Structure 1
């Protein structure tokens, strides 16, 4: 699993994240037609210079995985409340039937930690769409990629 790769002592979070970069086909499998152009614009800029790469912090030697479907994220059911709040805003723009994953790296005995979100298994591969709610503001001044 991806989480285990990030947990290895010699792990390179940037290199691991780059292996999760979506293809053109992947964007179309995740975002509906209305938001597909915005997703491409946002993530093209992100992948040109990834500024958001995370892995476990020192002392975070454990992890847990949360999963929620597109439908659960939209309705706020299942594990959706465990995901960042922005998922609720973008969920109606996801294709139906997807399962999103987040990895929470934690120190032993801790509940909170570093979150790696936006993981989806599509087209036979793991891909990542970090902080997908930012797609909604792609054309606004000050938008961050």
Structure 2
């Protein structure tokens, strides 16, 4: 009889614990995980991320691209990683709102990508598609990465609002724009 009463009491506690309402507010870790899942590695994930960056909540999406010390080390060689972290903390990730968007008329998205090996070799495609600062930066990039550049343009136009420095490392996207400026500091 005591066992039955104990079992019923435990069942009641279990049901009570399971029936407590769950919070609708995701934890920061859950938010980061869902953001990472929404933007997988590769061109498809990069494109989805670039589209999200120009959406109404794009400034919130930009915040998810802030690198950690480990991310800087995954992108830049040892001689530049800590310098990059200091550079970006003052120039970009300093608490100011950052928005990446084109005008309402810039509905087209043009995407360019280059491996760090191609950047180091400064291939004709990289020279055509990326800013010249990458030629100097190439020697300071870790091998095996792909760097993305993109433009929001009006239909049929080549020029528009251009951005670069999107990289997938450590299972998420980060943004390190105009990284060649680190070399000039």
Aligned to 1:61: 107
Q: Note the aligned Cα RMSD (angstroms).
A: 1.7
CA distance in 1, matches of 2:138, 2:97: 24
Could you state the TM-score of these two structures normalised by the residue count of structure 1?
0.85
- Show the counterpart of 1:25: 70
2:89 counterpart (38, 44, 63): 44
- Helix, strand or coil at the partner of 2:134: helix
Pick closer, same or farther for the CA change 1:37–1:50 going to 2, 3 Å: same
CA contact (8 A) 1:60 1:108 kept: yes
Tell me the alpha carbon deviations over residues 68-109 of structure 1, each in whole angstroms, 9 at most, x when there is no partner: 011111212163121111111111100011100011111001
Alignment: residue pair count: 136
Unaligned runs of 5+ in 2: 1-47
Q: Which of these two proteins has the greater Rg computed from alpha carbons? A: 2
Higher relative contact order (CA 8 A, sep 6+): 1
Q: How does 1:1-145 map to 2 (within 5 A)?
A: 1-8=48-55, 11-45=56-90, 46-50=92-96, 53-77=99-123, 79-81=125-127, 82-138=129-185
- Aligned counterparts of 2:124 and 2:58: Cα–Cα separation in 1: 29
Q: Once the 2 structures are TM-superposed, how far is the Cα of residue 50 of structure 1 from its aligned partner?
A: 4.5
Q: Distance in 2 between matches of 1:136 and 1:59?
A: 35
More helix by share: 2
Q: Is the 8 A contact 1:99 1:121 kept in 2?
A: yes
